[in-house]
Amino acid sequence: MAFREYKIGCYMFGFALSFSMFVTIFLPGVDISSVSSTELALDKQLTYGHESGFAYEDPFLQGHGKPVKVVLSKDPATGASIDKTTAYVFPAGTPFPSGLTHTKILGEDVKLLSESLGKIDQASEEAGAVFLVQTNDKDVPYVENATATRGWNSDAVLKAADETIMAGAGKTMFVREGCWWCHTLLPEQTQDWQSFGRPPLLGDFNGESPTTFGSDRKAPDLLHVGARNSSKEWMTLHFFNPRLVQPHSIMPRYDYLWGEKDASGNTIDLAKWDEEYMAYTHGESIYPPEVPEYSADSEARYLIDFILNLK
Amino acid sequence: MLKYLFEKEENIPQGSAAVFFGVSAIAWFIIGTGLGSFNAAKLAFPDWFHGLYALQFGHMRQVHVHAVIFGWIAMAFAASMMYITPALGNTKLWSEKLGVWNCLLYNLGLCLALALLWSGVTSGREYSDHVWPIDLYIAFIMVLPWCLNVWMTIINRRTQGIYTSNWFFAACMFMTVIVFLVGNLPEFFHLTGLNEAYMTWWFAHNILGLLITPVAAAITYYIVPKITGNPLYSHRVGHLHFWSIVVFYSTPAAHHLMSSPLPEWLKSFASVEGVLILVPAIAYVCNILLTMQGKWRMFVENVEIKFTITGVLLAIPLNMQGGFQQTRAINWYIHGTGWIVAHAHLALLGFSTFAEAAAVYYGMQVLLRRKLYSLSLANFHFWTLLIGFSLYWISMTIAGLIQGAAKIYEVPYVDVVIAEHPYMIVRWLGGTMVFLGNIVWLWNMYMTARAGDEVPVGRQPAELAYGR
């Protein structure tokens, strides 16, 4: 019996499915892959690193193996003061983003400049590297390997930094905690401009994985949230218990991301905090309990750094 | 069931794999809808169960989705295929032993996959949330043995032609494997950026369009003629349905990303193809409803037909929404709102679940050779499912329209949250009804196996009167 008498049908089926996949995967793939990275895409790749979801370097999504974004006001090699500069530090062993390891992600012009002016081909994951995002006089963005061009090594840059932003580890928290089930990262092209800001462009995503657009918006879009609200204090209260700053919020509390100890090393007692908070909501006390300050290596810090970095 | 794992093939009773899959499916349906109800409660009352950090919404949402898709829907499909495919080929299942092993490894794999999602180990891609080692397990350990059983049973059939349901089963299992492996390429080869985003939705669209919708339809192609005794209205309309699924349903993936910066030609193409899904949809619904000619009383009298035809009727609003909501004229209004959540539940909890529930009800009675224990409990299950689903669908559609309006008038977002609150409560009540109804179903099935009236050889369960 077999499928013998269905031979023509089987051929037609194979042809139809292959043609469908040619049109819906191959052609869009070629088209999308031909787009150059924008400056924003370079910034995102260098901030978030190789992968924000499951990866060898971070199988349990704890924020391991991610670069650190820093703001410098003096040259880490010479100590001379410089204009405020954003640098992306990849300590030794931190995997590079796809743009630096694959040939097609940056786009032709960006790649050419990144190699000729930026010397990115001299960067190595084993030794670590520090990168900058630059633009040439024709506004073409490129990546500069400051370790090769300026002799900046990652330890010195981290030491000289005015500010360190753990947004790479923070995006992993964003993925792991499922923030993107409610908060989209995609202002829509039709009507979101005024409240949520500029929708992203075609080349804004090169090298980013996952893109976590989100599909089911139950909460404000966050793509430019750092530009609307840059208050670390507000974010701290909001993540610990959203209803402290927005009584009608339906967001879960993320107090457990504070970890065991707060910034001054005191143990955080979430159950006791909740008890005092419930007393406050029932009108038994006038003020809600104090929100502990998160410690520098807590997951709450990573996540808040990521959110505030969404400009 | 476990005693058959190391039994010789000829000593395993026919239908063991189907029963194993069927019982697992009902159990996962209870787990999946229970989680859905729990999650919905969190959206209405966020501080409820506070302190239960293990059940954070952001971790449990995807566990609910995958428990119902891979647990309930896919396992109910497996159960149906394991008894329908051989019945239509006038033969035995190719290997009951493979089927029993398949079901065991399916359950174990699903437990592991959901535990990982629960603990936050995820790829961060909606519907393909599983990490790539789990993807490979799903493709090669959970799905491929199932495919093998279906394909080999059809190849070894003892009938001349292949009946409509069996084309669908064979082709859909093939397409599922392809879609699964191709759709997860971004994880296997670390594709990034818009390619990753587009492939995520290519996978999500095609797994729904090439597995869930057509297999649910194929099941009704069996159940309705079998129980009513009418032949399928038209084999040729079945052809139209099949080929238009392959050609039209596999192409509109980009319509899920209409407001993203994908190439415009791709969005326009997807949108036109998206309207063309009305071709298989209309062909299918007409074919089934015309098959019912002269037997419409069974829609009231027979519980399996009641489930099946309700599912088919729900496919009408489903496809009307599906065809038109993705066009630019409508999509900008409802994209990313509760409307879409309602639509997704119309497809999975409406159309597909009703069709599968009928197949599991019918299959269990045939395979166990026992008449359903209680018609009243089955009717109770039907109405809790239908009313619970309707409450869910209506409330989420309204919530979505509120969100859409708020989106255009750029209302501060928190006002949307406040306006949606009553609908979130209704959604939770609807979901809870579905969950409770399913517990009753499991009890009814358990009692059918224990105390149902025996169906004599050569008789159909539908021909027997209910004993109680």
A183-210 confidence digits (pLDDT tens): 999 998 877 788 899 999 999 999 999 9
Number of C-beta neighbours around residue B313 at 10 A = 17
Average pLDDT, chain A: 94
Contact A93/B at CB under 8 A: no
Q: Please, which pLDDT band fits residue A115 given cuts at 50, 70 and 90?
A: very high
Helices B74-89/B16-44 angle, 10° precision: 150
Helix residue spans in chain A (DSSP H)? 7-21, 27-33, 39-48, 98-101, 108-116, 146-149, 154-160, 167-176, 193-196, 225-228, 232-240, 270-281, 299-308
Q: How far apart are CA B414 and CA B70, in angstroms?
A: 34
Residues with Cβ within 8 Å of A239's Cβ and at least 6 positions away in sequence, in order, are: A253, A254, A255, A257, A300, A303, A304
Task: Find out whether B16 and B104 touch, Cβ atoms under 8 Å.
Answer: no
A223-256 confidence digits (pLDDT tens): 999 999 999 999 999 999 999 999 999 999 999 9
A97: tokens are 């983003």
Number of C-beta neighbours around residue A67 at 10 A = 29
Q: List CB contacts (< 8 A) between B424 and chain A.
A: 250
Q: List CB contacts (< 8 A) between A300 and chain B.
A: none
φ/ψ of B440, rounded to 5, equals: -60, -40
Q: How far apart are CA B276 and CA A12, in angstroms?
A: 19
Q: CA Rg, chain B, in Å?
A: 22
For residue A210, say if its preceding peptide bond is cis, omega within 30 degrees of 0.
yes
pLDDT, position B22: 97
Q: How many helices (H) and strands (E) does chain A have?
A: 13, 5
User: Are A206 and B197 within 8 A, CB to CB?
Assistant: no
Question: Which residues does residue B402 pair with via DSSP β-bridges, in sequence order?
Answer: none
End-to-end CA distance of chain A: 64
Q: How far apart are CA B262 and CA A202, in angstroms?
A: 7
User: Are B251 and A243 within 8 A, CB to CB?
Assistant: no
B-facing residues of A in 263-292 (CB < 8 A) are 270-271, 274
Contact A41/B at CB under 8 A: yes
B187: tokens are 């994880």
Residue-wise DSSP of B361-387: HHHHHHHHTB--S-HHHHHHHHHHHHH
SS3 A151: coil
Displacement of CA A161 from its chain's centroid (Å)? 20
Closest alpha carbon within chain A to B244 = A16
Q: How far apart are CA B336 and CA A241, in angstroms?
A: 25
Number of C-beta neighbours around residue A228 at 10 A = 13
Contact A186/B at CB under 8 A: yes
End-to-end CA distance of chain B: 29
Contact A194/B at CB under 8 A: yes
Q: How far apart are CA A23 and CA B24, in angstroms?
A: 38
Task: Find out whether B130 and B117 touch, Cβ atoms under 8 Å.
Answer: yes
Alpha-carbon dihedral of residues B184, B188, B193, B197, nearest 10 degrees?
Answer: 10
pLDDT, position A4: 60
Q: List CB contacts (< 8 A) between B343 and chain A.
A: none
Chunked into runs of 10 residues, chain B (468 residues) has average pLDDT values of 88 95 98 97 91 90 97 98 96 96 98 97 96 97 97 94 94 96 95 96 95 97 96 95 95 93 95 96 98 96 97 97 94 94 97 97 96 96 98 98 90 94 98 98 96 91 84
* CATH 1.10.760.10 is right for the domain spanning A172-308: yes
Angle at A93 between CA A90 and CA A94, to 5 degrees: 40
Q: How far apart are CA B279 and CA B163, in angstroms?
A: 21
User: Are A177 and B158 within 8 A, CB to CB?
Assistant: no
Residue A1 has pLDDT above 60, yes or no: no
Q: Give how far A44 is from chain B: nearest CA, Å.
A: 11
Question: Which residues does residue A131 pair with via DSSP β-bridges, in sequence order?
Answer: A88, A145
pLDDT, position A3: 58
User: Are B336 and A214 within 8 A, CB to CB?
Assistant: yes
Task: Find out whether B193 and A207 touch, Cβ atoms under 8 Å.
Answer: yes
Q: How far apart are CA B80 and CA A55, in angstroms?
A: 37
Contact A52/B at CB under 8 A: yes
Q: How far apart are CA B284 and CA B232, in angstroms?
A: 11
Q: How far apart are CA A157 and CA A306, in angstroms?
A: 20
- CATH numbers and ranges of domains, chain B: 14-452 (1.20.210.10)
SS3 A16: helix
Closest alpha carbon within chain A to B249 = A20
Task: Find out whether B8 and B91 touch, Cβ atoms under 8 Å.
Answer: no
Residue-wise DSSP of B135-168: HHHIIIIIIHHHHHHHHHHHHT-SSSS--HHHHH
Q: Give how far B168 is from chain A: nearest CA, Å.
A: 12
Closest alpha carbon within chain B to A195 = B410
Residues with Cβ within 8 Å of A225's Cβ and at least 6 positions away in sequence, in order, are: A307, A310
User: Are B196 and A179 within 8 A, CB to CB?
Assistant: no
pLDDT, position B468: 67
Task: Find out whether A268 and A129 touch, Cβ atoms under 8 Å.
Answer: no
Number of A–B residue contacts, CB under 8 Å: 218
Domain boundaries, chain A: 39-167, 172-308
Amino acid at B205: H
Task: Find out whether A206 and A35 touch, Cβ atoms under 8 Å.
Answer: yes
B-facing residues of A in 207-266 (CB < 8 A) are 207-220, 242-243, 246, 248-253, 256
Q: List CB contacts (< 8 A) between B182 and chain A.
A: 21, 25
Task: Find out whether B403 and B416 touch, Cβ atoms under 8 Å.
Answer: yes
